[in-house]
Every structure is written in C-alpha cells, then in structure tokens.
Structure 1
C-alpha cells in the first residue's frame, strides 16, 4: 500500500479543468473539479514538455494521486484570492514508491 502525502504538507486549494482534446473551436475541457489538498510553489524553472520542447514553468503544484490531469489542462491556483490565476499544464508526473509519499507533480506555464 502506498504512503500518502500528509495533509499538513498540502495547505492549498486548486481548481482543474481537464483537457479533453481539440475540437472545431479550439481546445475543449472536461468538467472542472477542485483539489482541496495541494502545495503550490511559484518558482520559475526550465522543463521539457511532452513534445520534447524546452519551456519555462512558472509554477509547480503537488497533489495526491487521483483524477488524471493531462498536459493542456487548465489549473487555477490561489482561487478566491487577489493572486488567483489560471495556467496551462505543461507536464504531469506521478511519483509512487513503497517507502515514500505518493504524489503527482504538475508544472504550469
């Protein structure tokens, strides 16, 4: 059984609109959902997107494993505050090891 990330390490809330594909009018998204246990860190770093291109990530979000958050999804950080903003998912990586807390790391534009 995987160890879960302790709640005290995940004090933030984020809202996710999962990417569902591209239609005739551009990208389409699934029903938005809220993750009440997250860690949001505004930190600029260079990441490699799924297509291999190097890009700059402005924010990293850590959540417990759960619903899929594919690249292209929209994530709103700091919802309900003056600092709220919506960014696009560059990568979503799952980390799962029997002796370490399982989590998903999401990099945002």
Structure 2
C-alpha cells in the first residue's frame, strides 16, 4: 500500500545528486513530485553520521529517486539539500509505504 495521493498536498522540485566534478556537485535533471512538507526543526543524522538540524521534512511516494546531497526546492521557493533519505515500508500491515527526506 502506498501513501494516498490526496495526502500529498505540496509540489517540490528534486534535482538528484549525481556526484562530484572539478567544478563541484553534479545533479541529474530536475523533476517535480507531489509531497507532504513539514517545516519544523528536528535533530537528525546526515549520511556521514554527523548530528545536524533539519529544517524541513518531505514525505513522498516510496519510489522517489533522491539520494543524500540532492537539491530540493520547497513549495515556498526555498532551495535546500537532502540530509538523509528513509524508505518506510511495513509489508503485511495496513500502513502506507513512503519515502521521508530530511532537508537542511
């Protein structure tokens, strides 16, 4: 079971992180995705294990391609970076599968 589309009330733009070049971060082409955005401060761990402050959390469908360090534009126009990405599933239970992105 996937997170119901009617709960995903926002639209965010995701530019998936593709690696590094001589000029800095490289991103794949941007795409829009339906999401539920919560703008609140939470302590979380980055992909390197450092404790950091997340200022926004984005919940989307479970098939989102958004590795850590991806660039995300929130509904208010603020550009942020994905700190960590979690895929939530519960096979056999009546809860929806989703992807949660903790943003800088």
Alignment match of 1:103 (pick from 89, 98, 103) = 98
Alignment match of 1:45 (pick from 42, 46, 55) = 42
Q: Aligned partners of 2:30, 2:6: CA distance in 1, in Å?
A: 24
Q: Aligned partners of 2:64, 2:54: CA distance in 1, in Å?
A: 22
User: RMSD over aligned Cα, in angstroms?
Assistant: 0.8
Aligned residues: 102
Match of 1:84 in 2: 77
* Residue 25 (structure 1) shift: 0.2
Match of 1:68 in 2: 65
Q: Contact 2:64–2:99 (CA<8 Å) still a contact in 1?
A: no
Q: Aligned partners of 2:37, 2:19: CA distance in 1, in Å?
A: 26
* 4+ aligned runs moved over 3 Å, structure 1: none
Q: Could you tell me which runs of 5 or more consecutive residues in structure 2 were left unpaired when the two chains were aligned.
A: none
Q: Aligned partners of 1:38, 1:29: CA distance in 2, in Å?
A: 20
TM-score, length basis structure 1: 0.90
Q: Quick check: which one's strand share is greater?
A: 1
Q: Aligned partners of 1:13, 1:88: CA distance in 2, in Å?
A: 16
Q: Aligned partners of 1:6, 1:66: CA distance in 2, in Å?
A: 13
Other structure's SS at 2:41 match: strand
